Homo-oligomer: A and B are copies of this chain.
Amino acid sequence: MSHNVLYAQSGGVTAVINASACGVIETAQRHPEYFGKVFAARDGILGILREELYDLSGVSPAEIAALRHTPGGAFGSCRADLGEPDTHPAQYERLLDVIQAHDIGTFIYNGGGGSMLTAAKVARFARARNLDLTVIGVPKTIDNDLPMTDTSPGFGSAAKYIATSVREVARDLAAMSGTSTKVFVLEVMGRHAGWLAAAAGLAFETDDPPLLLLFPERSFNPADFLAALQLRVQHYGCCIVIVAEGLLCADGTFCAQEQTSSTFGHEQLGGMAPQIAAMSRGLGYKTHWAVSDYFQRSARHLASRVDVDQAYACGAAAITYAMAGQSDVMVAIERLSDEPYLWSLGAVPLDDVADVELPVPPAYIRADGYGITDAARRYMQPLIQGEDLPPFRNGLPVFAQLNFELAVKRLPEWGGKP
């Protein structure tokens, strides 16, 4: 027994993915009777193929604990995926070599839907080759689009950041609107799912506030939107517009498209805010616009305590599930009640969550398409509860230093591509 653990981070990072890492590492290190060393791959699956594994044995407990309040991906993440075993056999042979060379008994992959597909491929390969490898997925995505889990760690903090920022900016806009700016446009992330746009709805507690949400789940109707905007500005004197980067035009294409290539083959979106702002200016309204981009997923200073707790617990559960003999599953959060928010953890098959994207359900979007419903509030409100500030020193947050050492390589250089 006493095989080693290999943990890796994948996809866009979040404010709390390192809290999951912390949960994995601390829990595994508390059980030397089950686990040998804990390795963390550099840059996700790529680091495994390249045999770049950080050996966390010598890292101080304080430094590991600091991961809990450190945003970003401590070990590097990646936007790269495994091919299929029949078309990319060399990748899998290399994977096998690295796993065996470093005596890996447990592989924990922390990411979103695409990353769970990678984990599922590894698991299928392990089963096909009769390999004694435990594979557990840990959910992560600010997009909140993973199925079979109440939410994904990362979303609650991003939602809290957006709702807080919008609540604050609403005070600014209201103060300026008498003589100056009437409209403020914020572009949020969300390529296919409008959860982060929905989160902005939490900033106000009334039914139809001076706020319009443009969901990727609804095709964009410019004339209808401008009429809705005009109505709010006439009534309230000002209006905030939240636009998801993945807003779709009537023909089903992205309204904004800056660049068509990324390693994943996804378009890199962005630039909706200035477009919507230009439309608003066409109505004669002075308009400001902002784009949150990475801030919404790295703002650890405004993390939701619930989210941090869930992130850590999901990481820790991956280890306890491995100890209990589970494999080929993703840790999932189950909601037991809305208020108080009670939740527990469970395990769902990796194959059932791999590469599935859940949009915001119609019941959460207001009938006119520009707001959220009470059901959406009941769902989201618990996820942003509680604050969990990192330590501040000299006016700024202090994060983990990330002085990790790579384990000595035991294999020849890998020449393949992911």
Binding site for B on A (CB under 8 A): 9, 12-13, 15, 42-44, 46, 70-80, 160, 163-165, 167-176, 178-180, 184, 202-203, 259, 262-263, 268, 270-271, 273-274, 281, 286, 288-295, 297-302, 304, 381, 384-387, 389, 392, 394-397, 399
Interchain CB contact under 8 A, B399 and A395: no
Interchain CB contact under 8 A, B392 and A175: no
Complex interface: chain B residues within 8 A of A12 (CB) = 176
Task: Given the known inter-chain contacts A46-B179, A171-B72, A301-B168, please indicate yes or no for A292 contacting B290, CB distance below 8 A.
Answer: yes
Task: Given the known inter-chain contacts A163-B396, A304-B395, A396-B167, please indicate yes or no for A175 contacting B262, CB distance below 8 A.
Answer: no
Closest to A15 in B: B168
Give Cα A286–Cα B399 distance, bound, in whole angstroms.
26
Interchain CB contact under 8 A, B396 and A384: yes
Give Cα A259–Cα B12 distance, bound, in whole angstroms.
35
A-B contact pairs, 30 of them (CB 8 A): A9-B175, A13-B171, A13-B175, A13-B176, A46-B179, A70-B171, A71-B172, A72-B174, A73-B171, A73-B176, A75-B175, A77-B175, A77-B176, A77-B178, A77-B179, A78-B180, A80-B179, A160-B396, A164-B397, A168-B397, A169-B294, A169-B298, A171-B399, A173-B294, A270-B274, A288-B293, A290-B294, A292-B295, A387-B389, A389-B389
Complex interface: chain B residues within 8 A of A294 (CB) = 169, 172-173, 184, 288, 290
Give Cα A176–Cα B288 distance, bound, in whole angstroms.
29
Task: Given the known inter-chain contacts A78-B178, A281-B259, please indicate yes or no for A169 contacting B396, CB distance below 8 A.
Answer: no
CB distance from A167 to the nearest CB of B (A): 6
CB distance from A359 to the nearest CB of B (A): 23
Interchain CB contact under 8 A, A165 and B385: no
Interchain CB contact under 8 A, B286 and A268: yes
Which of B44, B74, B168, B202 meets A299, CB within 8 Å?
B168
Given contacts A72-B174, A168-B301, 9 further A-B contacts (CB under 8 A): A13-B172, A46-B179, A72-B175, A160-B395, A168-B300, A171-B298, A172-B294, A184-B293, A290-B292
